[in-house]
Structure 1
Amino acid sequence: MSRIVHFDIPSDNPERAQKFYQEVFGWEFTKWDGPMEYWMIKTGDDKQPGINGGMARRMPGQIGMTNTIEVSSIEEYISKITSGGGQVHTPKFPIPGVGHFALCSDTDGNIFGIIQMDSNAK
């Protein structure tokens, strides 16, 4: 069974959004040392149920938070998604040192990500 392991918050103004989430929920933000402008979000104690996430500048047309589901094989799940009536919006691409990611939607148009973890991804 695949689980939601991460969420992404798009923002037109990440500094303003970070201030909001810090003040309202006490979340902690750390700049990611990767190939894109991205902040990791710690939402609480790792011993408690819940997930952490991230924040990036909004891409054109992006609305709302995106949940990311960990899968064992990107190719296998892309096939399952399209066979089930879903769509792939952003084909598989590597996130260096993290894994491979694709952005998809379900039959109602809800956007979600899938990720196959792989620390050797380049």
Structure 2
Amino acid sequence: MPRPVHFEIHATNPDRARTFYETVFGWAFVRLADNPYWLIQTGDGPGIDGALTPRLGVEPALDAPMAAFPLTIDVPDLDGFTNAVTIAGGLVVVTRSAVPAVGWLAYCRDTEGNLFGLMQTDIEAR
């Protein structure tokens, strides 16, 4: 069965986006030579790594409908991470909600307007 193996974050301001993801999640970025393309290492163990690249177009409007596959990140403390998102300049656009018997989910926007999810596993969620 095919599985996702890579993701890309498109950014109007790659330096600002890199700072956001380094600050909130501690991800590591390595630029590929002189190319405006940074590989992202999200950590060890299960999961996928990705890349950061300049956006080729306008930033999505806050009220724009979903136009991509949102990346959802497993976090140990949803409230702590949504707080870190806002401190780093992002927005919480869908507040904490239960996914029954799975966990707690919130959706956020980064400093570039990209939507992503945060999930705290909790089989007791209702």
Inter-partner Cα distance in structure 2 for 1:75 and 1:103: 12
> Structure 2 stretches of 5 or more lacking a match?
5-45, 49-63
User: Which residue does the alignment assign to 1:83?
Assistant: 87
Taking the aligned partners of 2:80 and 2:105, their CA distance within structure 1 comes to 13
Q: Does 1:74 align with 2:95?
A: no
Aligned residues with identical type, % of pairs: 34
Match of 1:120, SS?
Answer: coil
Q: Kindly indicate whether residue 89 of structure 2 is the aligned counterpart of residue 103 of structure 1.
A: no
Q: TM-score, normalised by structure 2?
A: 0.51
1:23 match: none
Partners of 1:50 and 1:97 in 2: how far apart? 21
Tell me if 1:61 matches 2:65: yes
The one-character-per-residue Cα deviations of 1:52-109 (angstroms, maximum 9, x if unpaired) are xxxxxxxx81111100001111110011000000000100000000000000011011
Please list, as runs of the form range in 1=range in 2, the aligned pairs for 1:1-122 lying within 5 A after superposition. 27=2, 43=3, 61-122=65-126
Q: In structure 1, how many angstroms separate the alpha carbons of the residues matched to 2:89 and 2:83?
A: 10
* Cα distance change of structure 1 residues 102 and 50 upon mapping to structure 2, 3 Å threshold: closer
Runs of 5+ consecutive residues of structure 1 not aligned to the other structure = 1-25, 28-42, 52-59
The root-mean-square deviation of aligned C-alpha atoms, in Å, is 2.0
